[in-house]
Amino acid sequence: MRRILVLTGFLCASLASARAEIIGAPTPRTVTEDEMKASLREIDLVGANAAPLDLRALMANGRPTLVSLWAHWCPNCLAEMKGFKAIAAACPDRWNMVFVSARASDYAKDTAKFKTYGLPWKIFRVGDSTKTDVAKAKSARAFYGATADGGVVTPLHYLVGASGRVDAIVSGRLNFEEPQRLAAFCAD
């Protein structure tokens, strides 16, 4: 019960704080929140050497999951790295952590930059099926949270509870190094 209260408090605090941490004006999206949530069950992710990641199975393994769209060119993504290092030092296996290139075409650059942080997690990209499968392309647009101008707002975080349900989608930088957020990520 304590874990649920801590996680619920974390998510509520995250949403309230995340809105305050978004840089710039809110961006209109061409996809709905429900489409974004559903995309986590439909998206194909691949890592190094095109090794697939079964995100659905990962989200169903009984641990909470953070899926974070990340980019080497994104100042807010880079600013979050100190907090992710704190999580890696305190409790690297408490959550499933999945980082995804915000643009598949930047995967090599994102991977190179991501490796410089020495984090225990990997970075993935959206699979090539989006180039030939219309449904997969639609899921990818939803997963990226496509904006009205066709862009992507980074970072974008999907917080998925241990039950596999998407508890929150947070657009913008989160300061994961704040004591209450780090405690929420490490609570049992």
Give the pLDDT of residue 9: 44
Q: Quick one: which of 85, 124, 84, 82 has its CA closest to 102? A: 124
* Full residue range of the structural domain in which residue 148 is found: 2-186
pLDDT band at 188 (very low <50, low <70, confident <90, very high): low
Q: Which of 5-14, 100-109, 158-167 has the lowest mean pLDDT?
A: 5-14
Total number of domains constituting the chain: 1
DSSP 30: S
Instruction: Please write the tens of the pLDDT for every residue from 82-119.
Output: 999 999 999 999 999 999 999 999 999 999 999 999 99
Strand partners of residue 51:
none
User: Which residues fall within 8 angstroms of residue 83, CB to CB, at 6 or more apart?
Assistant: 174, 175, 176, 177, 178, 181, 182
Dihedral (CA of 43, 70, 125, 137) sign: positive
Decide if pLDDT at 164 tops 80: yes
The DSSP annotation for 93-154 comes to TSSEEEEEESSGGGHHHHHHHHHTTT-SS-EEEE-GGGGT-HHHHHHHHHHHT-BTTS---S
Residues of the chain with pLDDT > 70: what percent?
Answer: 86
Q: Which of 59-73, 115-129, 157-171 has the lowest mean pLDDT?
A: 157-171
Instruction: Please write the tens of the pLDDT for every residue from 15-67.
Output: 444 332 333 347 788 988 899 999 999 999 999 989 999 999 999 999 999 99
Rounded distance between C-alpha atoms, residue 47 and residue 65, angstroms: 17
Decide if pLDDT at 139 tops 90: yes
CA 99 vs. chain centroid, Å, equals: 6
Mean pLDDT of 107-133: 95
pTM to 2 decimals? 0.85
Decide if pLDDT at 1 tops 70: no
Mean pLDDT of 141-163: 90
Decide if pLDDT at 13 tops 70: no
Return the CATH number at 67: 3.40.30.10
